């Protein structure tokens, strides 16, 4: 091979390599651009979900405060302690007389025990 054949061959190879490198660079840059867009989209979604979580927490706190206020409003007021019942003073002599009279009276007769229980008719559930 002489130089006349070698130069166009080398020139063609260099141009082919340059065009191939340019095509690879263009393809990689478009892929990188798509990945950046996806990353930006994911970051925006993360920030939005973080804001929603913050808003939800604020709403929960507000609802808990309102719930507590309503419980306080609905809770019945404490009732005052009932006044102690004051029994009339009993004379000791009168109490002794009533006790003695109750002991002197015969006890009430007890009813005779029954041998068998009365028969009961039970309804059937059909």
Q: How does pLDDT run across 45-92, given as a tens digit for each residue?
A: 999 999 999 999 999 999 999 999 988 888 777 777 787 777 777 788
Is 110 part of a structural domain of the chain? Answer: no
Handedness of CA 34, 37, 39, 42 (dihedral sign): negative
Domain-located, residue 62: yes
Instruction: Please report, to the nearest 10 degrees, the dihedral formed by the alpha carbons of residues 96, 98, 102, 104 taken in order.
Output: 70
Q: Which of 3-7, 15-19, 114-118 has the lowest mean pLDDT?
A: 114-118
Question: Residue 70 domain-assigned?
Answer: yes
Is 53 inside a domain boundary? yes
pLDDT score, position 39: 96
Give how many domains the chain has, as a whole number.
1
Assess if residue 120 is contained within a domain.
Answer: no
Query: Does any domain span residue 59?
Result: yes
pTM: 0.43
What domain range includes position 46?
A: 34-74
- Residue 68 is encoded by which pair of tokens? 């507590």
């Amino acid at each position: 091979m002489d130089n006349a054949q070698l130069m166009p061959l080398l020139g063609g190879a260099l141009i082919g390599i340059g065009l191939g490198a340019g095509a690879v660079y263009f393809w990689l840059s478009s892929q990188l651009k798509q990945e950046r867009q996806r990353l930006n989209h994911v970051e925006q979604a993360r920030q939005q979900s973080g804001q929603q979580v913050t808003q939800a927490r604020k709403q929960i706190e507000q609802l808990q405060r309102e719930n507590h206020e309503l419980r306080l409003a609905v809770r019945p007021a404490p009732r005052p302690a009932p006044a102690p019942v004051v029994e009339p003073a009993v004379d000791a002599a009168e109490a002794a007389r009533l006790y003695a009279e109750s002991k002197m009276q015969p006890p009430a007769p007890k009813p005779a025990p029954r041998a068998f229980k009365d028969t009961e008719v039970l309804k059937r559930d059909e």
